[in-house]
Amino acid sequence: MAVQQSRPITIVIAEKNPLLQSSLIKLFSGDDRFAVAAVTSDGERFIEVVDKTPFDVGVIGWEMPYLDGRGVLQTLRARVDAPRLIVYTGSPNPDVPRQAMTLGAAGFCSKREPPEQLLDTIIAVAAGRMVFPFIDVSSLASDPLAGLTPRERELLAALAGGLTNQQMAGQLDISLNTVKFHLKNLYDKLGVGNRAQAVAFYLKGRESR
C-alpha cells in the first residue's frame, strides 16, 4: 500500500548491531519524512512488532540472530497486510538481492552505500515501487536452482538419492547441525517446505534441461 507523503513514513528497524541501530535512529530522527515506530535486534522480535504494531516499511538485516532476514521474509510473504520490507545488509554475497526479491522483499540497500541511498529506497518503497540493484530476472523464472551454493547442490542431489541427514553428514564430512542449516537455506531458496518437495523440484528441473 503506497504511503502519501502528507504524513511521515513509519519504520521498524531490525538490526543486530547496537551502534548501527543508534546511527539509524539518529538518521531518521533528523528527517521529518520518517517516524521510527520500533527498533529490534533480531528477526523474532521484529515479527512480534509486526503482529502488534501497524507500520509502513520494515528495514531488516539479512544476518540476524534467532530469525534471519530470509526467515522474516519467509514468515511474512503470505500475509496480505504485511509491511513492505527492505533488506539492509553489508553481506558481500552478490546473490542476496536476488534471494530477497524471490522471497517477496520490496527493496534492497547495501550498507556500503551512503545513508541517503537508504532514505531514497524507503521513500520509493513506501510509494509502492520496488528498488533493487540489477538482477537478471530471466534467471529467476528459468532456473531457480541457479542461486544454490555448490554445497546446497550437493545436498539436493543427496536428497534425491534418498540419503538421510545422518548419511549426508557422513558422506560430506560435516556435522548433522550443518546439514540441517544448509537444508533450511535450501528449502527457503526453492520456496519448498520439506525434503519431498525439494526432491520433486530437483527432478522437475532435471527433466526440463
Domain boundary (113, 138, 163) is at 138
Same domain, 23 and 123: yes
The answer to whether residue 65 is domain-embedded is yes
Same domain, 173 and 87: no
Same domain, 94 and 180: no
Residue 152 main-chain phi, psi, to 5 deg: -65, -35
Residue 204 main-chain phi, psi, to 5 deg: -65, -40
Q: What is the pLDDT of residue 118?
A: 96
pTM: 0.66
Those residues whose C-beta lies under 8 Å from the C-beta of residue 103, and which sit 6 or more positions away, are 70, 73, 74, 77, 188, 191
The answer to whether residue 163 is domain-embedded is yes
Q: What is the pLDDT of residue 206?
A: 59
State the total domains in the chain: 2
Domain boundary (112, 138, 164) is at 138
Q: What is the pLDDT of residue 122?
A: 97
Residue 171 domain boundaries: 150-203
Same domain, 81 and 184: no
Same domain, 34 and 126: yes
The answer to whether residue 74 is domain-embedded is yes
Same domain, 132 and 156: no
Same domain, 42 and 19: yes
Q: Please report, in tens digits, the pLDDT of each residue of the chain (209 residues total).
A: 555 557 899 999 999 999 999 999 999 998 999 999 999 999 999 999 999 999 999 999 999 988 999 999 989 987 888 899 999 998 877 788 888 988 899 999 999 999 999 999 999 999 999 999 875 555 555 566 666 777 888 888 888 888 899 998 888 888 888 888 888 888 887 778 888 888 887 777 655 54
CATH number, domain of 51, equals 3.40.50.2300
Q: How far apart are the first and last CA of the chain?
A: 39
Same domain, 99 and 180: no
Q: What is the pLDDT of residue 154?
A: 84
Same domain, 156 and 106: no
